[in-house]
Amino acid sequence: MVYFLFNMMIKILPIVVLLLSIPLIAMQLTDEVIWSFFDFIIMGALLTITGLMIGIVLKKVKYYKYREVFIVIIVIIVMMFLLIWAELAVGLFGTPFAGD
């Protein structure tokens, strides 16, 4: 299992770095994107955890007869990612850890 997670991290981390480079480049081009170092850390962790969760589901569901369950689980993971991202960005639900 550790070997599987290590291989998965090798595949996921370049994608995370590529996605995090988008706001980094945008910060250089405009004043409208303002991310702190902490924002990059949180988003990197969120993207990595989401990628690992999807990778584990891809590894565990092998049979086509469970395809509907597989799709539902992937949609739930993506929706959790989007809801957490929206909450951290703009405070969609008004929780204490919401952004400004």
| pLDDT at site 69 | 85
User: How confident is the model over 58-89, as pLDDT tens digits?
Assistant: 888 777 777 788 889 999 999 999 999 988 88
Residue closest to 23 by CA, chosen among 14, 35, 15, 11: 35
| DSSP strands (E only) in the chain | none
Q: How confident is the model at residue 99 (pLDDT cuts 50, 70, 90)?
A: low
What pLDDT score does 68 carry? 84
How many whole angstroms separate alpha carbon 17 and alpha carbon 82?
18
pLDDT tens digits along 9-40: 899 999 999 999 999 999 999 999 999 999 99
Mean pLDDT for 44-48 is 96
